[in-house]
Structures are given as structure tokens and as C-alpha cells.
Structure 1
Amino acid sequence: MTSLRRRLLVLVAAVLVLAGTATGMVLRAADRAERADRPRSGDPAVSAGPVSLRQRDRLMFVNGTAGPHRTAVASVPATDPGGDRTAAGLKCVRFYAAAGTGVCLQSNPGVLKQRNRALLLDAKLRTKRTFALAGTPSRARVSPSGRFAAWTVFVSGESYASTFFSTRTSILDTRTGRLIPSLETFDITLDGESYRAADVNFWGVTFAADDDTFYATLNTADKTYLVRGSVSGESVTTLTENVECPSLSPDGTRIAFKKRVLSRTDLWREYVLDLRTLRATPLAERHSVDDQATWLDDDTLAYALPADGESGRSDLWSVPADGTGSPRRLLTGASSPAPL
């Protein structure tokens, strides 16, 4: 057998192996998707219908229950979160909304790679603008006035617990259309001094009501910090350490956040920080919370936890913001809460 013929046979065999592997992956993915779309007994009813960001006293979220509306933006009455759900045609990995403005982060499988994008939405959930994302969607927020939207993606790595990961956080002015692609271009003041480093990462933006101030997590040199920033000044200043995924209370006085309780682990506890005293209060939730909590009102927080025995599915829980009481399940099969 000639050398050329042997090479051709090896090439053909390699192509067949790769084709078989790809086919197997596609079939397994299709099987997982089919199983995920099978309704489960006990799940709330979900039906298609009009969903608007102008509705009042509603709770918006990403539906996680099985069926054709899985990952769709959905709505329930705030007073009856366990009731029937109305689902829009829009599907998102992450979602948030305020003052008639929404942001939807999507991750759609493509032939060669995932297509990740951010959608700026109007009150009827129609897409106003689309932005390509540099990585996997992680966090999304809209300012109380609706003027600013922010999102965080993983450029490398898949979680905040990874030893090596990189994030990119962007802020969009929805009025002017100006996009700040990365907070890493902002001036940093760390412990009172100007700071610059190659390993800087930001994530988890939350906005104040003045259409300029925001808070976020800064990570550098294996430490995380809560920073207060100015959009117009393109600058941030550190306030305290070990604060991740901050969420500003409606009255602007407190920050809910997850605190890493063991170094180099993925164990977090949920706390609330008084911005005046910088005193942190642990909340009644004892499970590890890997989420950016949402304030349902000035007294109550909501957050996602993995559903028992169901990989890839989460439930929404709520807990008092003062450290008292106990957690209660708010919504089964749901994530990304946004109270209207």
C-alpha cells in the first residue's frame, strides 16, 4: 500500500469518527431538549399571551418550567406568584426590566459556535437594538428610570467559582445609544489610590436613582470589592471587600450581596450591607446563593436556587432583608425576577 493511500485511509477514518461523534452529540442534545420540554406534574399552568412592562403589580421572570414556554419571559400577579403564568414569545437566558425598558440576554446555538447577544426592549418586549456579546450571559440590570442597561458576560470560564475566569461588563445609555463596552476602561481608586492592573474584572452592576451612580463588583489580585461608580465620570472607587453581585435597595440605603464564606470555594452567603455604616447583616438563607438578588420591595429579596434533583432548573426564593424570618419558595421553575 502506498504512503499516499495509507494517508487517505487514515483521513477517511478520522472524518467518519468525527462525524459519528458529532451525530452522537446532536442526538444527545436533542434528547435532553425533548426531556426538558416534557411537562412535569405539579408545574403551574403557562399560556401564551400579551406581556407588557407597563403592567403594574406584576412580577416578571424567565420561566423555567418544562414545555414550549421554557426560557420565555413570563408574568404573574405579584400578589399571587404561584398562579397561572402568561408567557411572551421572547426567550432569554437573563432578563431584567424597569420603567418600561427591558434587557434580554440570549445564547443561541449556532453551527460553529454559540451566538450570544443582548436585546434592548421596549415596553411591549419588542427589540429596539441588538448587541453582540463577547461571551456567555451572566448578569443583567436596568436603572430605575430605564435610562441605563448593564450586562455581564463570561469571556472565559463558566462561573465565579472557577480558578481562572474573565468577565466583561457593559453599560448602555438607552436614550443616546452610547455603549460603554467594558468597565475596565474606567479609572479605579482602590483604598484611596489610583489603581491599574491587567487582571481587573467587573460584574454585577446595580444602579442608583440619579441616572449616574452605580455599584458593582471589582475583582483583582484574588480579592473582590464593592465599588461605587459614576457613569458620567467613568470612574469607580472601592468601598469594602468581599462583596459580589450587589443589588441596591429601592430606597438607596442598602446593598444586598453574596459573600464568599470560604476562600477559593463556590460557597456564598447572602448579606445586606448598610451603605452608611458598612455594617453587613447575614440573611436567614443558609444555602449557597450564586445569584444577583432582586429587591421585591424595601423589605424583601428574591433570588434563584437550584431546584432539588433537577439539573439546570432553578426556583425563586424570597427572604426578609433584615436577617429575620426564614426563606420561602416564591416561584418554582423560574429565574431573573423583575418586579414591576
Structure 2
Amino acid sequence: MPRRVVVLVAVVVVVVLGVGAYAVQAVRRHQQALAAAPTVASTALAGVLAGPHIVFRSTLPGPQYGLVAAVPIADPAGARAFTPLACDRVDVAGSFASCLRTVPGVATTFETDIYDVSTWQRTQTWPLPGIPSRTRLSDDGTLVGTTAFVTGDSYATIGFSTRTEIHTTADGSSRGNLENWRLTVDGQPFTASDRNLWGVTFVDDDTIFATAASHAAGKTWLMTGSISGQSLTSVADNAECPSVSPDRSKVAYKKVVETVNGQPVWAVAVRDIAAGTETLIPATKGLDDQVEWLDGSTLLYGLPRAGQAGTTDVYSVGITADAQPVLFIPGAWSPSVVR
């Protein structure tokens, strides 16, 4: 083998080993920092779950990092009650919790787990095709929508690809991959080969809202349609990750308000479904989340905490154009309101 080739191979090996060692050390430092952090104040789970509460992923540093926790709606910043579940995204409705999680190993895998919230025992599980992104249950907990990144890890990534499916929680059977449904955009059949769909929210056990997108077209659309009919129709463009209000009169979503260095910047908007009018909430600029409704006039969403990798906070905001976000649950992600 020529000397230049030998030297090149040796350099590549050194670089690969160096990058691998750095990554391992970075993970270890993060784990050590979490383990060294003080224990988060906690309270009994049964007492919190007995009244109106919010379930979320705890991201405060400490031994409970990543566990699903709950706080009373009346005291969101107070002591939190921890479950034994570790989830990347979580939602709770009816008798069930949907938990999207990463399963570490020699080959990292991902899965959807369904839990009975009366016992926190797993009742169903099935694989996810990629990194967990979104999950929502229907109001009675009988259906669950899940979105995973098949390629990429962010909605700001160029060329990302998602897979979104709906399953029944009772037996895990699939009600369909949304990419295989009939799509109609602006009155015309939409058959683009690069179409992506994500961010399901349930109006009832048959009607949903979701996002459709085409990289080639450079557009996203708010879609609504029927599970039984396996079809979706566009309602508006520039709308992503919808969330329907408790009374079903409004739908909130994120929309691109500017582009910075080629990356989209989103803010929350709320659409009156019957009137077709939209209210933008400019002060929410910078989020990348599927919002949750705290009540009929307040939204919740998560943001990364500046300067603290891995820590996120949940904010509340009203649905008027002049509303200002307020810190609601520190060290939290993926809130789910149980009224």
C-alpha cells in the first residue's frame, strides 16, 4: 500500500476515534451533571392526579431528569409528582397516556408506549420509525396520533422526512399512515412525492387537523379530514402543528413569520374555525412546539432554556394579539392538560 494511503488511513482513524471519544465524554459530563444536581422537590402522585393537573416531561437537572411528572393546575410551579415513566413526548387523555421514547442500545431504537394511567403499567407498545416528535390522544383516549422524524431531527432541517400514523390504544392496531391518504390542496388532488404530514390533533374520533408540506413547493398547509374516509383537505397555508381548542371552536398552530440565515422562525397563531379569521401572537416568536390549550383562552408551549442544554421551560400565553408569554412550569416539556 502506498505510504500516502497509509498515512491518510491513519489520520482518518485518529479523527474518527477522537470524535467518538469526545462524544462519549460529552455524554458522560451531561450524565454526571444531572446526577450531581440536587433532587427536585416532589409530592405524592395520587394527590396531584385526583384533581385537575398537567402532565409533562421534567427537564430540571437531577436524578428525575426525563421522567414524566404532574403538577396541579392551580400550582404549576410547585412541587411535582413523578411517575416511573421516561418519555421524550407525552400526552394523557381518558384512561391512557401516550409515551414516545428513545430506547438506547448498541443500535438506538424508538417506540410508542401506551400506559394505563390508573396503574402506570404499559398496555401496548409498537416501534417508531425514527426520532419522536409529536403525539396526541383523542379526548376519550381511544385513538393516538404519533409523528417521528425518519430523516432529520427538526422541522428547521432542510430535507427532513416524517411519518405520522394513527393507532387505537386498546390493541395498537393502525388506522393509517397519513402519507397514504387522499390529499386535496386548494381544491386540487395533491400527489407530490415529497409530501410530509405531521402534528395530528383530534376534533373527535373521526375528524382531525394535521399539517401537510412539500419541500419542492416550499409550503405547509393546515389540513382537516376524516379517519374513516382516509382523506385530508387544506384549510389554510403556512400553518404547522395544530392543536384544537377544548370547545372545538378554534385551532392554534405555529406559522413562519420570518427567515433568519435560511432557518424558519415561528410564532403562534389562532384560527377561528367558523369565521376563518386568524390572530397572530407575535410575542411567541421563536417557538418550535405543538401548543397545548390550558383552557379556552390560554395556550401552553415549551422553549429551550438559554445557556442550559437539555433544560426547557413551559410558558403560558393568551390568545389575543397583544398577549405576552409568562413562565408557567420551569424545567418542563410536552405539557398535557387533564381537566
The aligned counterpart of 2:335 is 337
Partners of 1:176 and 1:53 in 2: how far apart?
29
Structure 1 pair 14/217, CA: closer, same or farther in 2 (3 Å)? closer
Deviation at 1:11, TM superposition (A): 8.1
Aligned partner letter, 2:28:
A
Partners of 1:235 and 1:151 in 2: how far apart?
17
Pairs within 5 Å for 1:94-173: 94-111=89-106, 113-123=107-117, 124-173=119-168
The aligned counterpart of 1:70 is 65
The question of 1:190 aligning with 2:185 is answered yes
Deviation at 1:15, TM superposition (A): 6.5
Deviations 1:22-55 (A, max 9, x none): 3443222111221234326xx95136x5469963
Out of 259, 263, 278, the residue aligned to residue 276 of structure 2 is 278
Structure 1 pair 180/38, CA: closer, same or farther in 2 (3 Å)? farther
Q: For structure 2, list consecutive stretches of 5 or more residues without a partner in the other structure.
A: none
What RMSD over aligned residues (CA atoms) do the two structures have, in Å?
2.6
Deviation at 1:17, TM superposition (A): 6.8
Deviation at 1:238, TM superposition (A): 0.6
Partners of 1:52 and 1:179 in 2: how far apart?
35
**TM-score scaled by length of structure 2:** 0.90
Aligned partner letter, 2:103:
N
The aligned counterpart of 1:269 is 267
Partners of 2:10 and 2:186 in 1: how far apart?
61
Q: Number of paired residues? A: 333
The question of 1:256 aligning with 2:252 is answered yes
Partners of 1:197 and 1:52 in 2: how far apart?
50
CA contact (8 A) 1:53 1:97 kept: no
Aligned partner letter, 2:224:
R
CA contact (8 A) 1:284 1:327 kept: no
Partners of 1:299 and 1:7 in 2: how far apart?
66
Deviation at 1:14, TM superposition (A): 7.2
The question of 1:239 aligning with 2:235 is answered yes
% identical aligned pairs:
35
Structure 1 pair 28/256, CA: closer, same or farther in 2 (3 Å)? same
- SS of residue in 2 equivalent to 1:262: strand
Partners of 2:183 and 2:130 in 1: how far apart?
24
Instruction: Return 154-163 or 11-20, whichever deviates more.
Output: 11-20
Instruction: Return 80-89 or 177-186, whichever deviates more.
Output: 177-186
The aligned counterpart of 1:204 is 199
Partners of 1:317 and 1:126 in 2: how far apart?
30
Deviation at 1:9, TM superposition (A): 11
Structure 1 pair 55/142, CA: closer, same or farther in 2 (3 Å)? farther
Deviations 1:104-153 (A, max 9, x none): 01113221x32111101112321111111111111111111111101111
- SS of residue in 1 equivalent to 2:36: coil
CA contact (8 A) 1:51 1:125 kept: no
Instruction: Return 93-102 or 169-178, whichever deviates more.
Output: 169-178
Q: For structure 1, list consecutive stretches of 5 or more residues without a partner in the other structure.
A: none
- SS of residue in 2 equivalent to 1:309: coil
The aligned counterpart of 2:174 is 179
Structure 1 pair 176/52, CA: closer, same or farther in 2 (3 Å)? farther
Deviations 1:65-116 (A, max 9, x none): 01111010001111001110111111011001111211001113221x3211
Aligned partner letter, 2:131:
T
Partners of 2:66 and 2:128 in 1: how far apart?
19
CA contact (8 A) 2:313 2:333 kept: yes
- SS of residue in 2 equivalent to 1:105: strand
CA contact (8 A) 2:49 2:70 kept: no
Deviations 1:174-209 (A, max 9, x none): 24532145210101111112221111100111001x
**TM-score scaled by length of structure 1:** 0.90
CA contact (8 A) 2:124 2:171 kept: no
Aligned partner letter, 1:283:
I
Instruction: Return 196-205 or 175-184, whichever deviates more.
Output: 175-184
Instruction: Return 276-285 or 56-65, whichever deviates more.
Output: 276-285
